[in-house]
Chains A and B, each alone.
Chain A
């Protein structure tokens, strides 16, 4: 069974630009969550989608948005990039119910110059 894939793996952008990250969950998984990981901050929850609907949202500005398609693939968009947005962005998928293990992708390393 293929794991969670994220594209691209590395990205360099400049301030003010926007970026779109993609996540393909494990087949059969309907829940996709996004996290921002920075040194010392651990994993900060961005949002979670289930069957194309956002079920939960973390405490991030509106510049961070996402969506999920009918095939469960998800995209995350960050507009007007700031230096502080440099981070590893992790995507995780699960079946969506309680106690369901989250399977993580390898992440996308975003660097904002």
Chain B
């Protein structure tokens, strides 16, 4: 089984600033994938970024990047140049290569202050 922990229930950031959302996970699998999903107030969850555990290079998608520390089982999300549209609930998730079940954290609610 896997567990995903997001220790920050709420975060806020000034528009155009940078914010980092934390996520730690625990898994006994050697091959797995990590994801960050965003859930705006409209409720449709969308994928922000994903990382293969076997890759040492941190994934980057435009203003979104991750800091993947495999030994520490840490997978934080950095949002640069924050925009009002980034305001949402962010969920960290883990998927083992041997399984078909996503394990989600409890989410971090991000507020962007104009």
* Chain A positions near chain B (C-beta within 8 angstroms): 3, 31, 33, 35, 40-43, 45, 48, 50, 55-56, 58, 88, 90, 92, 96, 98-99, 101-107
Contacts and interface: CB of A to CB of B under 8 A. Distances in A.
Nearest to A107: B43
Interface string B34-65: 01010000111111001010000000000000
Given A106-B42, A106-B44, A31 B106 contact: no
A93 to B, nearest CB: 12
Contact of A106 (B37, B43, B103, B105): B43
Contacts of B91: 42-43
Interface of B: 6, 33, 35, 37, 42-47, 50, 52, 91, 95, 97, 99-107
B46 A40 contact: no
29 contacts: A33-B100, A33-B101, A40-B106, A42-B6, A42-B104, A42-B105, A42-B106, A43-B102, A45-B101, A45-B102, A45-B103, A50-B100, A55-B100, A56-B101, A88-B43, A99-B50, A99-B52, A99-B95, A99-B97, A101-B47, A102-B47, A103-B47, A104-B37, A104-B44, A104-B45, A104-B46, A106-B43, A106-B44, A107-B43
B34 to A, nearest CB: 11
A33 B44 contact: no
Given A98-B33, A101-B50, A48 B44 contact: no
Nearest to B33: A99
Q: Which secondary structure characterizes the binding site on chain A?
A: strand
B95 A98 contact: yes
